[in-house]
Structure 1
Amino acid sequence: MKTEDLAFLRSFFRVVTDQPIEFKASDTNRYVPLYDTPELAPHDPVKLLARPIQFALGQSVQLFSGFRGSGKSTELHRLRKYLSEQGDYKVVLCDIEDYINLSQSVDIIDFLLAVAGAFGDALQKEGFLPDDSSKEGYWERFTYFLKRTDLKVPEMSTVGIKVALKSDPSFRETLQKRMAGHLGALVEDVRTYVTGCVKKVKERHGPDTEVVLLLDSMEHIRGTSTNATAVQDSVVNLFTSHSDKLHFDHLHVVYTIPPYLKVLYPNLGTLYSPGGVQVLPALKVRDSERNIFQPGLDLLERLISARGDWQRLLGPERETLDRLSLLSGGHLRDFLRLFSEIIRRADRLPVPETTVDAAIAQVRTEFLPIADADAKWLHLIATTHGVALPDIKLLHDLARYLDTHLALYYRNGNEWYDVHPLVRDVVKAQAEEATRRQTQSH
């Protein structure tokens, strides 16, 4: 292969590696404004999230859900950019995964500590607070809270509390037990701290300044094979039973949540007025009747064109590109993943069809194998376009389908679900065969 072809493949491979667009100078050419099209403009998540912040009087709270790889983090970065450009907003974007372990159950105590700590850290990092305020982040304040309430916890430094909250399960368990009777006091202390920070921001930047906290990655929470149900129950409890504790005076907050929470708790948005719940769907490339949705294919063509010369890789015609777009189901991460697999297999340009087929087969195998019970349920999702949840006890299985993209969420007027196109035929054949065997056994 020519040196210039290898250089092209190396460059293309790097830009299809999945990562959020943060709207820095280096990101300028990578972002494609998906919601500038007439078909998608009514569903622009930034507009829908920004309006309650702009219209509410002084404070608001919203929930934002998106599946891994759907572009949710990119949209949060875009929301921060959009609001910051308005002039009256100071926006901080925090990753909750830096503060709590998302493979374990989350308690309201852990979560409040993480929110307050992340908020203070981010304000200081962005330079939104006066210099002298850096002398007391929430981690320092919490040590004083423990002394005031005469709570005994293992001695550790301020940095130790922050680290232990994420990495030391025994510390979290001890903290939860000893704080159980002091939750009201902790809520008051966190709110006092948050309000004090907002006040200092307004004193420095003007009384009309609005402060916004965007809390990302909470939708990443998931348990292991042994604790998945307990972890999911803890998330439900956090955002439903403790919803009143997640509102803060004079602060606009957007929390990300796992997609299954909306399924499990109908009308969840009423607990988070005035913003409610927004769910970021996969990009529609077919409608619910499986008819091709050309605007979706055109957007994916623009998206990959912003990263590299796909015609040099695949050939001048769009047939292969559209095939990849349809097989991705409009899931952005899987779309880029198909390209990365093609690039790693390329030994000449444009690549032959056998290389494309091998890449598709590789990505498909990463979804497999599928258990017969899962295949039956997934086939029901594919045929009904609903979640078809047979029993609330099986929620962790539905969460697994959504997390792994076996099931995808769409919206065109009404919301609907489908099985990932890469495995839809496999699921159908397996479900039918499993049903046939079951019938014969009886």
Structure 2
Amino acid sequence: MKTDDLPFLRSFFRAVTDQPIEFTGSDAGRYVPLYETPELAPHDPVKLLARPIQFALGQSVQLFSGFRGSGKSTELHRLRRALSAQGDYKVVLCDIEDYINLSQSVDIIDFLLAVAGAFGDALQKEGFLPNDPAREGYWERFAKLLTRTHISLPDLSTSGIKVALKSDPSFRDTLQKRMSGHLGALVEDVRAYVTGCVKRVKDKHGPNTEVVLLLDSMEHIRGTSTNATAVQDSVVNLFTSHSDKLHFDHLHVVYTIPPYLKVLYPNLGTLYSPGGVQVLPALKVRNNPKLRATAGEVFPPGLELLERLVSARGDWRRLLGPERETLDRLSLLSGGHLRDFLRLFSEIIRRADTLPVSPETVDAAIAQVRTEFLPIADADARWLHLIATTHGVALPEIKQLHDLARYLDTHLALYYRNGDEWYDVHPLVRDVVRRQVEETRLRAATAP
């Protein structure tokens, strides 16, 4: 390997490491404006999220969903930048994962506490509130609410409440049980706190100022092998049964949610008027299989966008060779899932011994990423094959929603939208699934 090849590979490897673009400093140069193309412009998530905020009178609430690695967090950062540039908006972006443990069931009590605490912390951090040390954050205020309602909890400092909420499951259980009879008081107190914060922001920055809260990472919630069903059920309950408690006067809110919520609860958007639900799909690299005239044909604009995306991170021609054949093969195998596309490149780079890399190196990288999806149980293969042939979720019965959530969460199944919405099995495992189904049928037919 040439002496200057290793620094090139190191830089390229770091650039394709998956992380949100926050539009601060040099990272903005890595962003490719996917939605400036005519084919995708009608589905620009930032425009669709911004409009209710801009048009609603004083307040709005929306749900934003996207699969892990689909670019959702980057689009939230872009939304914050776009609104902030207009001058009348003060936008805070909070990561709910900093406040609650997303491997455990979530209750409306600890969720409201986390939202209020995150909102107050972010306003202070961004400098949107007047610098008044006498003003309390929500953690101090919540301690006073406990006193007023005569609720005793383990002896914790104010900062201890925040830490224990995320890291101590027994504290959360105790909190939920002892606050269950005082949910109305908590809702009222959180809303009063939020309204007070918004008023102080307007007092400092002008009466026409609009305050926006973007709450990221809620779609990361997932349980372990022992509690996955309970965790998913708790999310459904939170955003459906308690939807009325997630609206706040004088505040625009965008909550991220897991993709399966939209499947489980038809017309979910009516609970979150006027914004409703926006789902960020995978980038289309093939045409909708449901459209017979162009079914399965390569979608050139999608391939061009992925070429621009990787070009913003490194010289793919130096890595793969000057021709587009290998690049387009990787684009199609990714299924348009941005994280998986970049993941293929990282595997190629770590195996590179010469430049451009050999076909065997590319094949080895593809095989490695494919094995990370495997093995697939026979029952899962049958369902995935049905998704691949019908291009719908093919949900047999509602009690199997948790399996569907797992497919979507692990990218075994991908969601697309261009006109109609449709689903497909990840191209890396589509043939594996088909062969596995054929083999199980053959075994069943020849079994004694």
TM-score for both structures, normalised by structure 2: 0.98
Amino acid at match of 1:255: Y
Paired residue secondary structure (2:212): strand
Q: Deviations over 1:221-267 (max 9, x none)?
A: 01111111111110000000000000000000000000000000000
Instruction: Could you tell me which runs of 5 or more consecutive residues in structure 2 were left unpaired when the two chains were aligned.
Output: 290-294
Cα distance in structure 2, aligned partners of 1:439 and 1:112: 55
Does 2:153 align with 1:153? yes
Cα distance in structure 2, aligned partners of 1:134 and 1:387: 53
Does 2:385 align with 1:386? no
| Structure 1 match to 2:374 | 368
| Structure 2 match to 1:354 | 360
How many equivalent residue pairs? 442
Does 2:150 align with 1:144? no
CA shift, 1:134, in A, is 6.8
Amino acid at match of 1:140: E
Does 2:33 align with 1:33? yes
Cα distance in structure 1, aligned partners of 2:186 and 2:18: 39
CA shift, 1:421, in A, is 0.3
Amino acid at match of 1:341: E
The alignment yields a C-alpha RMSD, in angstroms, of: 0.8
Cα distance in structure 1, aligned partners of 2:144 and 2:248: 21
1:309 to 311, 315, 339: 315
Paired residue secondary structure (2:132): helix
Does 2:419 align with 1:413? yes
CA shift, 1:145, in A, is 0.4
Equivalences for residues 125-140 of structure 1 within 5 A: 125-132=125-132, 135-140=135-140
Equivalences for residues 171-320 of structure 1 within 5 A: 171-287=171-287, 288=289, 289-320=295-326
Amino acid at match of 1:321: L
Cα distance in structure 1, aligned partners of 2:404 and 2:83: 35
Cα distance in structure 2, aligned partners of 1:54 and 1:253: 12
Quick one: structure 1 residues 297 and 134, their matched pair in 2 at CA, closer, same or farther if it must change by over 3 Å? Answer: farther
Instruction: Could you tell me which runs of 5 or more consecutive residues in structure 1 were left unpaired when the two chains were aligned.
Output: none
Cα distance in structure 2, aligned partners of 1:163 and 1:36: 42
Q: Is the 8 A contact 2:65 2:258 kept in 1?
A: yes
Does 2:434 align with 1:428? yes
Cα distance in structure 1, aligned partners of 2:350 and 2:396: 41
Amino acid at match of 2:392: G
Paired residue secondary structure (2:161): helix
Q: Is the 8 A contact 1:105 1:235 kept in 2?
A: yes
Identical columns (%): 86
Does 2:335 align with 1:329? yes
Cα distance in structure 1, aligned partners of 2:417 and 2:447: 40
CA shift, 1:26, in A, is 1.4
Q: Deviations over 1:369-390 (max 9, x none)?
A: 1000000000000000000111
| Structure 2 match to 1:19 | 19
Cα distance in structure 1, aligned partners of 2:45 and 2:134: 34
Q: Is the 8 A contact 2:22 2:28 kept in 1?
A: no
Q: Is the 8 A contact 1:338 1:360 kept in 2?
A: yes
Does 2:61 align with 1:61? yes
Cα distance in structure 2, aligned partners of 1:230 and 1:365: 29
Cα distance in structure 2, aligned partners of 1:134 and 1:400: 47
- Greater CA deviation, 44-53 or 287-296? 287-296
Cα distance in structure 2, aligned partners of 1:152 and 1:12: 54
Does 2:89 align with 1:121? no
